[in-house]
Amino acid sequence: MRTCVGCLESSDPSGLVTLRLAPTPEGGVMVVVGAHAGAKGRGAHVHPTAACVAKAVDGRLSKAFRREIRVSASELGEAIGEREAARIEGLIATAIRTRQVALGADAAAEALAHGALVVAAKDAGRVVDHQPFRGAREAGRLIFWGDRARLGSFTRRDSLAVLAVTAPSLVQALRHAHEVVSAFAPAYVAAAR
């Protein structure tokens, strides 16, 4: 269990974001999110919510790191969003590498019946406007990520509009990371229309 520096409640580490200090070129330090090669010393943890981030930057990070920390809630939130965006990319790559994915609209539609999470390109077009994808979107079982070229690059294709992640643990991790990115870096997940 770890304590959130924002709300001061104990939580399972999987629900928290780790913060560390890393040196800056000017000789100071900056807060980095997650593991970082240059990060040293004490760590702090925060729930990836706007309320906890706001409380954390309002003096509680300074107390946790035992030194004055100057970072705004928007800067820290953006860093958390970017870190989780990279995590989404890694989770999609893992699903493909471990063959726990259904590629293309027909395969993804079939996988939905077995609890899969659909990942659609932001420029997927009308394919996501039809059933079963419209129903999946309304039920929170469809997320938007990247564009057709980006999704295709995971599979060595020129373009891919839709895929479905089938592994329950990856589905859960993707949903959580997507919620965090939606809160702190919504441009990453907004569907093109």
Q: Is the peptide bond before 132 cis (omega within 30 degrees of 0)?
A: yes
How are beta strands 29-33 and 17-23 bridged, if at all?
antiparallel
Is it true that 2-71 and 84-188 share their CATH fold?
no
- Position 193 scores a pLDDT of 44
- Position 38 scores a pLDDT of 58
- Position 159 scores a pLDDT of 94
Give the mean pLDDT of the chain.
90
- Position 7 scores a pLDDT of 95
Q: What is the pLDDT of residues 33-91, one digit of tens each?
A: 986 655 666 789 999 999 999 999 999 999 999 989 999 999 999 999 999 999 999 99
The pLDDT-based confidence of 19 (bands split at 50, 70, 90) is: very high
Considering only the top CATH level, what class is 2-71?
alpha beta
**Does domain 84-188 match CATH 3.30.1330.30?**
yes
Tell whether the model's pLDDT for residue 110 goes beyond 70: yes
Q: CA neighbours within 13 Å on the CB side: how many for 116?
A: 25
Q: What is the pLDDT of residues 176-191, one digit of tens each?
A: 999 999 989 888 876 5
Encoded tokens for 159: 């373009």
Q: What is the pLDDT of residues 155-167, one digit of tens each?
A: 999 999 999 999 9
* Domain ranges for the chain: 2-71, 84-188
Tell whether the model's pLDDT for residue 136 goes beyond 90: yes
How are beta strands 117-120 and 142-144 bridged, if at all?
parallel
- Position 112 scores a pLDDT of 94
d(CA 29, CA 51): 24
Region 103-132: mean pLDDT is 93
